[in-house]
Structure 1
Amino acid sequence: EIAPARILIIKLSALGDVVQALPVLHALKSTWPTCQVDWITGEVGATLLEGHPLLNKVIVYPRKRLGDLAKNPLLWPALISELGSLSRRLKNGRYEIALDIQGLFKSGLIALLSNARLKVGFAGTREGSAMFLNRKLPPYDPNRHAVVRYLDAAASLGARAGKIKFPLGLTTKDTKEAMDFLQGLRLEPGQFIILIPGTIWPSKHWTIEGFSRLAVLVKKRLGLASVVVGSHKDEPLGNAIFQGSQGAAIDITGKTSLKLLASLSSMAASGVTTDTGPMHLAAAAGLNVVALFGPTAPWRTGPFGKGHIVIRKDMECSPCFNRECAQRKCMYTISPEEVFEAVERLVSQRKTANRADEIR
């Protein structure tokens, strides 16, 4: 078949979903190296994808602005104008294929607005997004891991990359920034683990006491620092863990970009994380993590690949996929000691692998 010249990837949010879609980019460019690939995504995803060497262009979907305009009928003329501007920009891309791996009404509408010859996506998705498509793939199995599902969509076009890779597009500049950042913390690569406590769903949270106690154990028994990472919204959580650990944890929440976080993750000895976007970013950067799961299913959205450890309690109510839960037994019954044991195992495995590399 003739290689497509221009493809639009439609994956708007959230951060974890964007990271899990990176193997699609790798598959497309591995199969058709000369193909021009653009990606439309939200504001957060754009900060990770901007300047990516495999992408021709990143188009920012202004979700918040469009949402604000849609709420007020008096502002609908402005909304129509914004959509018209977005439509013109998409049509200027002259895409042969629009690949919708989001599966929502807005992503289906974007596929339509792109005027691509082929508008591809899964049937049976939420919000009727398939009505905008002219090539509907069979409904996917929700228990199939998201990374594999996205690659299934790429494979339907003929894109196959063999080994699954997460091309983050990090540069030597990103690495240097991370090294300088660590120097400011008086740390070296391999001398710390990262803690990722924040998540949008309250039901996914582990306890502040658990993270605090873990940081103390890691410092006392492994001689490693615990660096708490997250967005500005996670700053109260990071400070609480710092205080609860009596300084054993280092709080840098709100102080890193996504690219800096990815670079730091690649230099850590291990990580402990809830089910959240930065978990996928850390795993994509090559960090083996201990992932704490309760209300969600790790076989669907867990850290992808070998070497990770998932801790999950076998309860009848789990996974419930509820954002809110008054009891959160599935998360609160996870003890700091069992998490520490998992961290200790991953740190030991990393040291063994490093020694093997030195011998080779």
Structure 2
Amino acid sequence: MSAPVSICLLRTSAIGDVTHVVPLVRTLQQAWPQTTLTWIVGKLERKLVGDLPGVEFITFDKSAGWAGMREVWRTLQGRRFDALLQMQVAMRSNLLSVGIRADRRIGYDRARAKDLHGLVVNERIPARSGEHVLDAIGSFCEPLGLKQTGVRWDIPVSDEARAWAAEQLPGDTPTLLVSPGSSHALRNWRPERYAAAMDHAATRGWRVALVGGPSPAERALADTVLAACKLAPLDLTGKDTLKKLMALLDRAQLLLTPDSGPMHMANAAGTKVLGLHAASNPDRSGPYSDRRWCVDKYDEAARKYLHKPAADIPWGTKIEYPGVMDLIAVDEVIERFDAFAKSQE
């Protein structure tokens, strides 16, 4: 088919999912370099991807409610796209898409659609189960006649951010970054378990750095982790930005984290991830490129809390129950760390 003149991408959040859109942008740019790409993205998320070359970004401030939607609609007034890729099924995003004019409105298949998604699209991506979220997002180019066969990020990071990261993590000492918090609190591991794993890494001669956002909840979690550590790590909590975190990740060898935005940022940066998975399925939402170093207790969680093996529950089911992350033992995390450390020798 001939190249579209213009495509609008709608995926406003969250950080991890926004990183999954970047390879789709690269696929579209490679196939159709003359096509105008407009991405409607969240205010925070734009700080991570908003400098991707060749893309027009329009910020949606969800905290502004209806005023935020109207601002997006005003910005797009008088414009019509050849295609809208509606990659977010939440009610807010479905309502936002109503004010975006497009000839082709491509959305999720019926099994993955919700919150009246079917009313705002006129085409759907292929129905598939068992896909990683990144592959599902990548399939949005298929109704347009393309196929995402490669995955590339290359998210820009400024020299200033890289210089700051080099000041925090100088030299070439092997470094473990620990990002303990998820936006879903039930995915978080116990602070004392993080501390035990961090102390082990330190005794192995690794530099250990704690990272996290500036929110009171993340500061409180970091303080609890620090209080439990016998060997004090470097505390960078609240000191970085999204771009600075990308630069830190680029200097680190491994990130320890639950299912969270930093997990997917690390994957995009090419940094290996020791992911903690019990509440979510790593095959669906773990680090896309390499899940060898993850601890996977998802099936055990399904059997304990849902009384079925993971193979018998709907793909993408979240098992966010109190105590679910306690299924991950410190020894299991240490075993994965040691295996990774050995692979680096």
TM-score range normalised by the length of the shorter chain? 0.7 to 0.9
- Please name the residue that 2:314 is paired with: none
Is 1:337 the counterpart of 2:331? The answer is yes
Amino acid at match of 2:338: E
C-alpha contact 2:202 2:231 (8 A) present in aligned 1? no
- Superposed CA deviations along residues 103-151 of structure 1, whole A, max 9, x for unmatched, are 233323333312122111113201011211122334442x311011111
Structure 1 residues 321 and 88 mapped into 2: Cα distance closer, same or farther (>3 Å)? Answer: same
1:222-233 equivalence runs, <5 A: 222-233=204-215
Is 1:63 the counterpart of 2:62? The answer is yes
- Measure, in 2, the Cα distance between the counterparts of 1:231 and 1:289: 18
CA-to-aligned-CA distance 1:79-111 (integer Å, 9 cap, x gap): 4x6544321312455422110111233323333
Aligned Cα RMSD in Å?
2.1
How many residues are paired up? 328
Give the Cα–Cα distance (whole angstroms) in 1 for the partners of residues 68 and 223 of structure 2.
40
For 1:210, the equivalent position in structure 2 comes to: 193
Structure 2 CA distance, aligned partners of 1:137 and 1:191?
42
Among 332, 344, 349, the alignment partner of 2:343 is 349
**Which string of whole-angstrom CA distances, capped at 9 and with x for unpartnered residues, describes residues 179-234 of structure 1?**
2343xxxx3345311111101222211111111111111111x2112111111231
- For 2:150, the equivalent position in structure 1 comes to 163
> In the alignment, does 2:259 pair up with 1:275?
yes
CA contact (8 A) 1:271 1:343 kept: no
Tell me the TM-score normalised to structure 2 length: 0.88
Q: How does 1:165-314 map to 2 (within 5 A)?
A: 165-182=152-169, 187-220=170-203, 222-233=204-215, 234-306=218-290, 308-313=292-297, 314=299
Which segment drifts farther, 154-163 or 302-311?
154-163
**What amino acid does structure 2 have at the position aligned with 1:227?**
A
1:92–1:169 CA distance, 2 compared to 1 (3 A): farther
Measure how far apart 1:167 and its partner are.
3.1
Deviation at 1:306, TM superposition (A): 2.6
Structure 1 position 136 matched with structure 2 position 124: yes
User: What corresponds to 2:95 in structure 1?
Assistant: 109
What CA distance in whole angstroms lies between the structure 2 residues aligned with 1:227 and 1:334? 21
Distance change in 2, residues 1:177/1:36 (3 Å): farther
Task: Give the direction of change, closer, same or farther, for the CA distance of 1:167–1:116 in structure 2 (3 Å limit).
Answer: farther
- Following TM superposition, by how much is the alpha carbon of 1:290 offset from its aligned partner in structure 2, in angstroms? 0.8
Q: Distance in 1 between matches of 2:191 and 2:70?
A: 47
Distance between the aligned counterparts of 1:213 and 1:84, measured in 2?
49
Query: What SS does the corresponding residue of 1:126 show, helix, strand or coil?
Result: coil
Letter in 2 for 1:230: G
| 8 A Cα contact 1:189 1:268, kept in partner | no
Distance 1:92 1:245 in 2: 58
Tell me the residue number matched to 1:40. Answer: 40
Task: Mark the CA change 1:205 to 1:51 in structure 2 (over 3 Å): closer, same or farther.
Answer: same
- Partner-residue secondary structure (3-state), 1:317: helix
Question: Quick one: which amino acid aligns to residue 318 of structure 2?
Answer: F
Change in CA separation of 1:282 and 1:148 when aligned onto 2, cut-off 3 Å: same
**Matched residues in 1 for 2:319 and 2:334: separation?**
27
Question: Alpha-carbon deviation of 1:336?
Answer: 2.2
For 2:59, the aligned partner's letter is V
Unaligned runs of 5+ in 1: 67-78, 352-360
Partner-residue secondary structure (3-state), 2:118: helix
- Which range moved further: 248-257 or 9-18? 248-257
SS where residue 27 of structure 1 aligns?
Answer: helix
Partners of 1:198 and 1:237 within 8 A in 2? yes
- TM-score (normalised: structure 1): 0.84
Which moved further from structure 2: 301-310 or 84-93?
Answer: 84-93
* Alpha-carbon distance in 1 for matches of 2:143, 2:335: 42
CA distance in 1, matches of 2:290, 2:30: 22
Runs of 4+ in 1 over 4 A off after TM superposition: none
Structure 2 counterparts to residues 70-85 of structure 1, below 5 A: 79=66, 83-85=69-71
What CA distance in whole angstroms lies between the structure 2 residues aligned with 1:21 and 1:200? 20
Instruction: State the Cα distance separating 1:170 from its structure 2 match.
Output: 2.5
Task: Kindly indicate whether the alpha-carbon contact (under 8 Å) linking 2:282 and 2:291 is maintained by their aligned counterparts in 1.
Answer: no
Q: Please state whether the residue corresponding to 1:33 is helix, strand or coil.
A: coil
Question: What is residue 72 of structure 1 aligned with on the other side?
Answer: none
For 2:8, the aligned partner's letter is L
For 1:190 and 1:147, the matched residues in 2 are separated by 32
1:148 lines up with 2:145 in the alignment = no
The alpha carbon displacement at 1:155 in A equals 2.3
Aligned partners of 1:23, 1:288: CA distance in 2, in Å?
A: 18
| 1:96 aligned counterpart, secondary structure | strand
Deviations 1:248-271 (A, max 9, x none): 322211111111111111210212
Q: 1:28 to 1:189 in 2, by over 3 A?
A: farther
1:59 CA displacement: 1.2
Separation in structure 2 between the aligned mates of residue 82 and residue 312 of structure 1, nearest angstrom:
39
Q: Which residue of 2 aligns with 1:127?
A: 115
Residues 205 and 274 of structure 1 are in contact (CA less than 8 Å); yes or no, is this contact kept in structure 2? yes
